[in-house]
Amino acid sequence: MVQNLVVDRIHDETERIRSIVLKAHDEAALPSFTAGAHIEFDLQEAGNRAYSLIDWGGSKNSPKEYTIAVQREEDGAGGSKAMHALVEGRVVSALGVKNDFELFASQNPVLLLAGGIGITPIISMATELVSRNAQFSFHYTGRSMSAMGFTDRLKAAFPEQLSLYCDDENPIDLDALMSAQSAETHVYICGPKGMIEAAKTAASVVGLPDENVHIELFTSPDTQSGDTPFEVEIHDTGDVYAIPVGKTIIEVLEEAGVDVMYDCQRGDCGICQTDIINGTPDHRDVVLSNADREAGKVMQICVSRARSARLVLDI
């Protein structure tokens, strides 16, 4: 359901990160959400973009306002620029709240790990864990301290759990961090792909179960140098579709009227996972384990491409 929200307040957290508070136009209560949830906006020419909801301890049940934060990306696809162009009083269309990054209700210890603007859903998780009196540690890293948003407020809100790192002063040691965890620890990671991959590898090396590592990727898939066109054949029908450089499998199939199940389109939720009948995938997700990648039997068709001239998929 589309809902028009009004920009109520704007605050610049850093040179690139802007907090935006939104309310219903009649100040009515908004749909409830849970820690890790995001809200999707229709930004017209910039397309649909999703941003995590930030909870510092207010009501998540029928709240009066939503808070998000957007990092301006000069080389991005335009979503962050459109959001940074908003002014107080502007109306923006919201397409609904969803959660692909749920915080599980368990008694196990929790490790929260955020990189850059990936801090936003992690704040809500930390707030929720405090309300549960749960055992957790909270680790936040970025390129430099000046580029990291919310640091003062985080120190005040989570003084016992928070550790801060930055690449130019005290870079995080992911190997040491994962080595310090018990086998029962659940790890929640949000940030850029490089950090997620490094953290997943470090967790795997020390034997943390894959099912205990939960991720959300805060970058969109980019075209890589060396990308080439390839074909996708639907096994059941024999229909063949050309996948050009710059378009995903999902985009091409949808344009052709093929019904495909997906959600995040970043390679981190796993909903679009598809069986491979024949061909060699070029994995670009952050969902699959190393063993799954090496086996080459499944792929995430929202971001991954092909190393072979054709993929035959069970769609």
- Given a cut of 70, is residue 211 above it in pLDDT? yes
Encode burial over 120-152: b for 16+ CB neighbours within 10 A, e otherwise.
bbbbbbbbbbbeeebebbbbbbbeeeebbbbbe
Detail the DSSP E strand segments found in the chain: 3-12, 17-24, 38-42, 48-52, 66-71, 91-98, 110-115, 136-142, 162-166, 186-191, 213-217, 230-234, 240-243, 273-278, 281-282, 298-300, 305-306, 310-314
Whether the per-residue pLDDT at 55 is higher than 70: the answer is yes
More confident of the two residues 56 and 46: 56
DSSP secondary structure letter of residue 211: G
CA–centroid distance for 11 within its chain: 22
Q: Are residues 91 and 41 in the same domain?
A: yes
251 lies in a domain?
A: yes
How confident is residue 195, by pLDDT bands cut at 50, 70 and 90? very high
Q: pLDDT digits over 127-180, tens only?
A: 999 999 999 999 999 999 999 999 999 999 999 999 999 998 899 999 999 999
Is residue 182 domain-resident?
A: yes
pLDDT at 12 over 70: yes
Residue 219 has pLDDT above 70, yes or no: no
pLDDT at 66: 96
CA separation (Å) from 123 to 68, 112, 130, 207? 11, 9, 11, 27
Please give the DSSP secondary-structure letter assigned to residue 170. Answer: B
Shared-domain flag, residues 210 and 251 = no
Model confidence band, residue 238 (pLDDT cutoffs 50, 70, 90): very high
Closest CA to 120 of 190, 57, 39: 190
Residues 175 and 93 in one domain: no
Domain containing 234 equals 230-314
Q: What CATH number does residue 265 fall under?
A: 3.10.20.30
Exposure on the CB side of residue 268, measured as CA atoms within 13 A: 24
Question: Which tokens is 163 given?
Answer: 């550790």
Round to whole Å and give the CA distance between 313 and 167: 41
State the average pLDDT over residues 10-29: 94
**pLDDT over 90, % of the chain:** 71
Could you tell me if 205 and 167 lie in one domain? yes
Give the residue with greater pLDDT, 207 vs 220.
207
Final residue belonging to a domain, choices 35, 64, 98: 98
**What does residue 3 show for φ and ψ, rounded to 5 degrees?**
-130, 130
Q: How many residues does the chain have?
A: 315
Residue 281 domain-assigned? yes
Residues 122 and 150 in one domain: yes
Q: How much is the pLDDT for 65?
A: 96
In this structure, the answer to whether residues 235 and 186 fall within a common structural domain is: no
Residue 144 to residue 209: CA distance in whole angstroms: 31
pLDDT at 246 over 90: no
pLDDT score of 1 more than 70: no
As a whole number of angstroms, the distance between CA 56 and CA 209 comes to 30
- Position 223 confidence tier, pLDDT thresholds 50, 70, 90: low
First to last CA, the chain: 28
Identify the pLDDT of residue 108: 86
Compute the average pLDDT of residues 256-265.
84
Instruction: State what percent of residues in the chain have pLDDT above 70.
Output: 96
| Residues 248 and 151 grouped into a single domain | no
* The pLDDT of residue 224: 67
* Mean pLDDT to the nearest integer, 201-213: 93
Lowest mean pLDDT among 44-53, 152-161, 163-172, 193-202: 44-53
Amino acid at 155: K
Written as one letter, the residue type at 282 is D
Could you read off the pLDDT of 90-105 as tens digits, one per residue? 999 998 898 989 998 8
Q: For the chain, what is the domain count?
A: 3
- Give the list of residues 6+ apart from residue 183 with CB closer than 8 angstroms, or none: 207, 208, 209
